[in-house]
Chain A
């Protein structure tokens, strides 16, 4: 194993990639994207073994790909909060749920909210807010929730923040379950709208059968969000986050408005979570509170930290592994949470920086390790 690792390191793939001429990198990137779009039809042996529907009990391959990409969006969004700004958010599922519930509450003709609007303005029973309008609503709802939650809590120490956000995620779910006259309670809301598109074979373009269309839609959004996240990381805001993460006091002395930038990170992370939730709810065409249990928050955090927080490629890998592996090995379903817990502990102890850390993060960890060893030697 270590020989393979050494051989891999010997290739210095990263250095070669960053040293390659611009057009080579662009072509490489385009090839990767093209391959990603082709994945639902992947049928060439031996690569086809990664498909999840090889046995009759397996899950639909395109649906799994869709879920992987939705969770990748989540991971990239949460990475802004955890990886860039260094804030531990254990309630991310709350924003995800808000996104899903916004599109359900405003877009479904049978939701109590839409019915109230219909009655108030005398609209007919099939009326609902169009899907395209639901997108800004979902983003704004998640954004407002992020700012409302962040404003009082971001002044606190990091570990308090973790618990308060954990509570927030639970409050969203409990509220959704108990506010029967707004959210239909535990019954959930059906008839969640889908994106508009041309009708093919008598079905709307986005339907419950052709999952690969959903996958392509999600993938396109993911690529856009990854692009934005890279721009953000290297912007003035990104540098401010970096400074806050490494030493908040020093950053404050240098004139970085720590609270303001932390709130930005929170708000941006929240709205990305809302987008992911919207995609999820729209594909399911059904939203219910039990889909947003607290375990999902832990899964999201695990994607980021196992993959390598702070590095977008790392968190993409984390999201892929933690979504794909459980689907691929569905026959061990009962053992999934146990394996997940063990993996969390083992990976964090052996590689606290994550599987594919950013270079800067890796160096930060190395520094800390040396400091700890020196302190131990002194004592």
Chain B
């Protein structure tokens, strides 16, 4: 127990937590939207995120950019990587829906079976990058950690006087990027015609289809949106950590799910709140004890939340007015 370490650098740790939490929050959106519409935990969503990080690596490799390129090249490559990650993740999410969930929906299988096929898809996706691609394409695929060139290099922008805080460009991009994407999604779901359809299905699927909402199309849309957000998270993750691995999805997925439950699953703004709180809690916990215990924090938070407030901090409500 080392509370001194925590309090001496409280401002720094909080900023670390917010950075980490922004990524959790973006991934949490995928869980929350699918849950809101289908009452289903999309177990393969963690791998949707993982595929996104590989897409970033793919774009950087194809363009041949590396650390220390000119500003225009950096911006261009990053934007292209963002696009590729969003497309790859959204595509993966859609494929999972088509292969693992739609046939079961037609059979009216019980929820447990959806979870099992989700787990199956998750394992298949992990193994595609850990084994199948390794056999067909060789490096960099395989069961090892892969470095991603830090195209966007960390630069100090300014320090906040009085606090021990150095603001870097990557931090700004991650936090602002995550918040902007979430605001955009929130506006889309609340204001657009398609978003109204999503909310209608979340409220009452039967009535919504009577009112002319195409339920299957809404489900597809939700998987695409959730996947695209995971793609954004994947880019931000690679900016912060410069690595990927075939199995990075699992832990991040669990934490993002915890974040979604913490904020209130099915609630978009809840995902943001939950993600940031969980990120901060985790950094605090790993400072007080050790980083080994950071993963345990998430589970403990999850159990405590479910015991005392199962609907999360902001309540479950993709369909309600607040979402």
The chain A residues found within 8 Å of chain B, CB to CB, are: 82, 86, 88, 152-153, 156, 158-160, 162-164, 166-168, 170-171, 174-175, 177-178, 294, 298, 301-302, 305, 334-335, 337-338, 340-345, 348-349, 352, 365, 368-369, 371-373, 375-376, 379
What are 5 contact pairs spanning A and B, CB under 8 A? A158-B112, A159-B39, A159-B115, A345-B99, A352-B110
Contact B295 A344 (CB under 8 A): no
Contact A335 B299 (CB under 8 A): no
Q: A372-B105, A379-B209 given as contacts; is B306 within 8 A of A160 (CB)? A: yes
Contact B261 A341 (CB under 8 A): no
Residues on A with C-beta less than 8 A from B127 are 337-338, 341
Answer whether residue B184 sits at the interface, using C-beta atoms and an 8 A cutoff.
no
Contact B99 A152 (CB under 8 A): no
Cβ < 8 Å to A, chain B residues 292-310? 292-293, 295-296, 298-300, 302-303, 306-307, 310
- Give chain A nearest CB distance to B215 CB in angstroms: 8
Contact A163 B131 (CB under 8 A): no
Residues on A with C-beta less than 8 A from B99 are 345, 349
Q: A167-B302, A337-B127 given as contacts; is B109 within 8 A of A365 (CB)? A: yes
Contact A156 B116 (CB under 8 A): no
Contact A338 B132 (CB under 8 A): yes
Interface core residue of B113, B121, B128, B293 (most chain A CB under 10 Å): B113
Chain A residue at smallest Cβ distance from B121: A345
Contact of A335 among B107, B122, B131 (CB under 8 A): B131
Bitwise, B127-144 to A at CB < 8 A (1) or not (0) is 110111000000000000
Majority DSSP secondary structure for residues of A touching B = helix
Contact A348 B303 (CB under 8 A): no
Q: A158-B111, A369-B107 given as contacts; is B123 within 8 A of A164 (CB)? A: no
Residues on A with C-beta less than 8 A from B109 are 348, 352, 365, 368
Chain A residue at smallest Cβ distance from B125: A341
Chain A residue at smallest Cβ distance from B112: A88
Could you tell me the distance between the alpha carbons of A69 and B106 in the complex, rounded to whole angstroms? 37
Could you tell me the distance between the alpha carbons of A167 and B111 in the complex, rounded to whole angstroms? 20
Contact A344 B257 (CB under 8 A): no
Other than the known A162-B115, A167-B298, A372-B107, what 13 A-B pairs have Cβ atoms closer than 8 Å? A156-B306, A158-B112, A159-B115, A160-B310, A167-B254, A167-B303, A174-B292, A298-B119, A337-B130, A338-B127, A342-B124, A349-B100, A352-B113
